Copies of this chain bind each other. A is one copy, B any other.
Amino acid sequence: MFSKATEYALRATIYIAKKSTTEKKIGIEEIAKAIDSPPSFTAKILQALTKDNKIVSSSRGPNGGFFMTEKAKRLPVRSILLAMGEDEVLEKCVLGLKLCSEVQPCPMHAQYKTIKQQLIKLFVQKTIQQLADATKDGEVFITNKKLVVKK
């Protein structure tokens, strides 16, 4: 559905929202390890999300790293897609037709529309914070490492 870059952006943001406060910042190494992504590439992506401090904030130097303000954590997940320039995925015609619309629908338009609406609703209603909180319970995960089941 999304590009690798956007997948990393989503996972990284959730991780930062979960682990950071304005006081406590998280380094790129830790982030990349936690979400199983290439560190340098992930750094590039976070740079983009840090533009204008829109979603992620950062500071350099010792004890520097990435963090999110409480306000940013309350942003809808969709804002990550927008920042990554991949919001279009949620809107576009499943057959790739530029002019597909109510006026000139493709043969999948009517049925696909209802699914798209749910997708958009999901990304608009869920906040980054909500996803981060879910991982705190230890019942949902953003790692690729296999869980060790407790006896």
Contact = CB atoms under 8 A, between A and B. Distances in A.
B106 A140 contact: yes
A126 interface: yes
A94 B140 contact: no
Interface in A59-113: 77, 89, 92, 94-100, 103-109, 111-112
**What class of interface size applies to chain A in its complex with B?**
35 or more
Determine how many copies of this chain the complex contains: 2
Contacts of A147: 99, 103-104
B134 A95 contact: no
A108 B140 CA distance: 9
27 contacts: A2-B96, A4-B96, A7-B95, A7-B96, A10-B95, A77-B108, A95-B142, A97-B144, A99-B144, A104-B141, A104-B146, A104-B147, A105-B140, A105-B141, A106-B141, A106-B142, A107-B130, A107-B132, A107-B140, A107-B142, A108-B122, A108-B126, A111-B122, A111-B126, A112-B122, A115-B118, A118-B118
